[in-house]
Amino acid sequence: MEDKKFVIAVYVDNKSGVLTRVTAMFTRRGFNIDALTVGETERSEYSRITISMSGDDYVKQQLINQLKKLYVVKKVEVLEDEPIKRELMLIKVENKSENRSEIMTAVDVFRASVIDYSPEGMCIEVTGNPSKIDAFVKLMQPFGILEMCRTGIVALDRGTTTLLNK
């Protein structure tokens, strides 16, 4: 079968050690995670883990089955039908006078923000879907990327349904 990318949303207890339990399950089973984000939800007793992975349908089903066995997991859903996906990236690039205007043009086109500026470098914040982030990185490479940090994907289904109410 062909590998596909998929996004899984997992509601878990908002307690210390829960993320360790979930990631240990990935390690024991040999699953590879492309991106993982976690944060408190609209209900303080839960955290939401968003996992981006690649694999075939068998891998996806195995992952879901294993997650559901963990007592700290309250709900697991594959986000289908093109969920709303966003990612945040901070990227530090060299600030050479001959490149400054081109970098600022790219910042404007990508609706990014310069959040730190010095004579040697500038730090830019970019948010958007992962392909937008990838395109911005590719555009900045010739200018000299000094450092970058990406959050990983956060995602929600479209419409008014919520994960806990499905």
pLDDT tens digits along 67-110: 999 999 999 999 877 888 899 999 999 988 888 999 999 999 99
Segment 9-21 shows an average pLDDT of: 92
Report whether CATH 2.60.40.650 matches the domain 84-154.
Answer: no
Beta strands in the chain (DSSP E): 4-13, 33-40, 46-55, 73-78, 84-94, 113-117, 121-128, 145-150, 154-156
DSSP character at residue 81: S
What pLDDT does 124 receive?
A: 97
What pLDDT does 12 receive?
A: 94
| Tokens at 84, concatenated | 């709303």
Model confidence at 1: pLDDT above 70: no
Question: What is the pTM (predicted TM-score) of this model?
Answer: 0.81
Return the closest-CA partner of residue 52 out of 32, 31, 28, 35.
Answer: 35
Same fold, 4-78 and 84-154: yes
Report whether CATH 3.40.50.410 matches the domain 4-78.
Answer: no
Q: What ranges do the domains of the chain cover?
A: 4-78, 84-154
